[in-house]
Amino acid sequence: MIRRVGLSVIAAALVVWVASTSAQQVVTGTVVRIDPTAGVVVLDNGQMVQMVPNSVILVNNQPVQLGTLLPGTAVVVQSGQPVMYQDGRYVVMVPPVPMTTAKAYDVVPRTAAGVYEVSGNVLRADPVDHVIVFDDGRNVWLDTDTRVFVNEQPAQISTLNAGTPVTVRSTRPIATRDQQYVTMREVASGTVVRVDPPATVVLSDGRTIQLTGDQLIYVGNQAVAISSIQPGSRVVIYAPGAISPSASAMLGDSGVRQRENERQGP
């Protein structure tokens, strides 16, 4: 009876321990080399993890000591410190800070024809800033890959009048944020080797891409979250297309309305 109670207490403690570590950083891989002096485990995916006081190494879901590890062992390291070997010593890797914390773009759905499009009635069309402002406050930034249609016929932005219903189409993703529509440009593509937290994708050709809130990740024809990317996935990373310097000050609905008031003022 006492033994059963003891086992129950141990099981409960394990549940609490697993729950407390579930939110911590977890690194998985196969051991290539161990540096016991520095407390570092080198994994087959190139990652180097240094043990700190609260680090835990699991083999077959059982905690083990660093000194017992052998090359070829599959491990899970919880709360380890990522490091890199530089100038003869291990250097702590500081997680990169995203360039922006702006709200992410939402992707306009693809049509049955396989293109992306947005439609509306023109309030103003500006061929200098390459922007069409719709009467409901939305604005679409154009680039060389977008096409404007009126009654399903191609049209030039310089010919558009107020009140004209138009459709803007692109074979590349059109994304929207805060009533701004932009065509995305490809900035990188390749096969994923690994994903490093918080938002870094390492490709098989050695490139390291730091993702920001302005970018989109596509696997096939589907936009995906960074958390769903698996090693071996073929990805295409998009970023917003260029906006002319004179138009950059107009970003945001209030800026558009202010400029409209200035245009219509005395």
Instruction: Give the whole-angstrom CA distance, residue 190 versus residue 239.
Output: 15
> For the segment 1-20, what is each residue's pLDDT rounded down to a tens digit?
444 444 343 333 333 333 33
Per-residue confidence (pLDDT) for residue 266, from 0 to 100: 43
10, part of any domain: no
Strand partners, 140: 132, 181
Judge if 31 and 138 occupy the same domain. no
Instruction: Give the whole-angstrom CA distance, residue 115 versus residue 111.
Output: 5
Do residues 133 and 121 lie in contact, with contact meaning Cβ atoms separated by under 8 Å? no
Judge if 47 and 170 occupy the same domain. no
Which residues have C-beta within 8 Å of that of residue 188, sequence separation ≥ 6? Answer: 203, 207, 209, 236, 237
Q: For the chain, how many structural domains are there in total?
A: 3
5, part of any domain: no
Mean pLDDT of 254-263: 42
39, part of any domain: yes
Per-residue confidence (pLDDT) for residue 4, from 0 to 100: 45
| Other CB atoms within 10 Å distance of the CB of residue 106 | 11
> Which of 79-88, 156-165, 224-233 has maximum average pLDDT?
156-165
Mean of pLDDT over the chain:
77
Scan for tokens 């096969």, then name that residue.
191
160, part of any domain: yes
Per-residue confidence (pLDDT) for residue 19, from 0 to 100: 36
Answer yes or no: is pLDDT of 64 > 90.
Answer: yes
Whether the full predicted model's pTM is greater than 0.75, yes or no, is: no
In degrees rounded to 5, what are phi and psi of residue 180?
-105, 130
Structure tokens at 3: 């033994």
Judge if 257 and 156 occupy the same domain. yes
Mean pLDDT of 144-148: 88
Structure tokens at 143: 């680039």
Can you spell out the DSSP letters for 196-251?
Answer: ETTTEEEETTS-EEE--TT-EEEETTEEE-GGG--TT-EEEEEEEPP--HHHHTT-
Do residues 58 and 76 lie in contact, with contact meaning Cβ atoms separated by under 8 Å? yes
| Other CB atoms within 10 Å distance of the CB of residue 134 | 20
13, part of any domain: no
In degrees rounded to 5, what are phi and psi of residue 193?
-90, -45
Judge if 189 and 178 occupy the same domain. no
> For the segment 127-142, what is each residue's pLDDT rounded down to a tens digit?
888 899 999 999 898 8
Per-residue confidence (pLDDT) for residue 59, from 0 to 100: 92
Judge if 157 and 251 occupy the same domain. yes
How far does Cα 202 stand from its chain's mean position? 12
Which residues have C-beta within 8 Å of that of residue 205, sequence separation ≥ 6? Answer: 190
Per-residue confidence (pLDDT) for residue 259, from 0 to 100: 44
Lowest mean pLDDT among 10-14, 26-30, 131-135, 238-242: 10-14
pLDDT band at 94 (very low <50, low <70, confident <90, very high): low
220, part of any domain: yes
Answer yes or no: is pLDDT of 258 > 50.
Answer: no
199, part of any domain: yes
Which residues constitute the domain of residue 192?
184-240
Instruction: Give the whole-angstrom CA distance, residue 80 versus residue 54.
Output: 8
